[in-house]
Amino acid sequence: MNVKAYLQITMVINDSNRPAAAKVYNDYRQPFLDTIEGALTKNLLIRNEDVQVLHGFDSVEHANAYLNSDLFKNDVFVGLQPLWEKDPEVKIYAVA
């Protein structure tokens, strides 16, 4: 199936906390792909100024639904929140 939507979460995380953030990504990547409806891809993108997680979905609706899922609210969010320097930027894009 082709990616029809992307969920982009951009986080400012200082260098000392990046290994912990990478652990959260690695711990929940496969459960995300295995259990979240419409989930197709998940990639960790690292820049000097921030860290992004780019999620690929089969629809915008499934991308939105993930943000309200138990996996996101109870596991991913809880694991990442203490590592943020400021609130993350969350965007959803439809693929044209």
pLDDT in tens, 19-76: 999 999 999 999 999 999 999 999 999 999 999 999 999 999 999 999 999 999 999 9
Domain extent for 82: 5-94
Q: What is the CATH number of the domain that holds 21?
A: 3.30.70.100
pTM > 0.85: yes or no: yes
Closest CA to 22 of 80, 77, 85, 63: 80
User: What is the pLDDT at residue 1?
Assistant: 80
User: What is the pLDDT at residue 85?
Assistant: 96
Q: CA–CA separation, 8 vs 16, rounded Å?
A: 23
User: What is the pLDDT at residue 69?
Assistant: 97
**54 by DSSP, 3-state: which?**
strand
pLDDT score of 3 more than 90: yes
Burial (CB count <10 Å: 0-12, 13-18, 19+), residue 14 = exposed
Count: domains in the chain = 1
User: What is the pLDDT at residue 20?
Assistant: 95
